[in-house]
Structure 1
């Protein structure tokens, strides 16, 4: 049994999701988010770092997948997102876990290959992972989508 940790980094909410790889299939284990309510940006980065270390220690994933940064019109947001992403990646340093990065377009392409009849990404995730609850935060859906993409990437599907 292997475990994938997918992470959608954010400076206000960082979503994560765990998938179990078993006999060439994936199963949903659990997901959650780190809510960063502190006003001080640098304290939020420290919280991401500490919480990610705790999560990694507790669940010992074999693979770590994270979203690549997209630089749009707002450079300040991209820089903050980059810092949040770095805090999550830095937490992995002592665990020797391989890191995989995916752009939003890679994730979307992978999910649409899974179910090309459905253009609703959330529904594809819920159906593929056999999850009945759709009350997840957007960041959790994104983290699960990244983890699913990692599964298919490891299998050389995408």
Structure 2
């Protein structure tokens, strides 16, 4: 079993989720949201870095997976999201964790089976796959979806490599 930290970055709310997985079976270890909305932007980035460093220290993941930035209508929001991702990635790199990145579409495809799935579908599948009863915040379930996507994708790639790769 590998311990994976999934991160759904945001400049105001950053979700995190820690799972253990062998690529087939996954278990929820911890998850939550880092809320930093009431601070100046530079302070928010510092807080994301500091609090994710604490999560890494407490739960000792072996790998980190994070959602890639997508270009929304507002370029300014995309830039802020990219900076929040940078703070999160730095916290994990400083802890010497390997970092893996996934597009939102790939995460949805892996967890739900459809790259166009909505947030409710993602949350439903996350709760089902991890056998969770409690209500999850949207950012929290998205972070767990990132971790699950990494666990399943990475396991498939590892199995293919072990078997000699694609064969025609």
TM-score, normalised by the number of residues in structure 1:
0.90
Task: Give the 3-state SS of the residue equivalent to 2:129 in structure 1.
Answer: helix
CA RMSD in angstroms, aligned pairs only:
1.8
2:99 is aligned to 99
Q: Is residue 130 from structure 1 mapped to residue 94 from structure 2 by the alignment? A: no
1:78 is aligned to 78
Q: Matched residues in 2 for 1:154 and 1:7: separation?
A: 16
Q: Where does the alignment leave 5 or more consecutive residues of structure 1 unmatched?
A: none
Task: Give the 3-state SS of the residue equivalent to 2:30 in structure 1.
Answer: strand
Q: Write the deviation string for residues 67-104 of structure 1: whole angstroms up to 9, x where unpaired.
A: 00001210000000000000000112222211110111
Q: Matched residues in 2 for 1:23 and 1:137: separation?
A: 24
Q: Matched residues in 1 for 2:23 and 2:81: separation?
A: 35
- Richer in helix (by share): 2
Q: Matched residues in 2 for 1:156 and 1:138: separation?
A: 27
Aligned 8 A contact 2:53 2:91 in 1: yes
Task: Give the 3-state SS of the residue equivalent to 1:93 in structure 2.
Answer: helix
Q: Closer, same or farther in 2 for the Cα pair 1:66/1:23, shift >3 Å?
A: closer
Greater CA radius of gyration, 1 or 2?
A: 2
Q: Is residue 17 from structure 1 mapped to residue 17 from structure 2 by the alignment? A: yes
Task: Give the 3-state SS of the residue equivalent to 1:132 in structure 2.
Answer: coil
Task: Give the 3-state SS of the residue equivalent to 1:38 in structure 2.
Answer: coil
1:108 is aligned to 108
Runs of 4+ in 1 over 6 A off after TM superposition: none
Q: Where does the alignment leave 5 or more consecutive residues of structure 2 unmatched?
A: 115-119, 158-168
> What number of residue pairs does the alignment pair up?
152
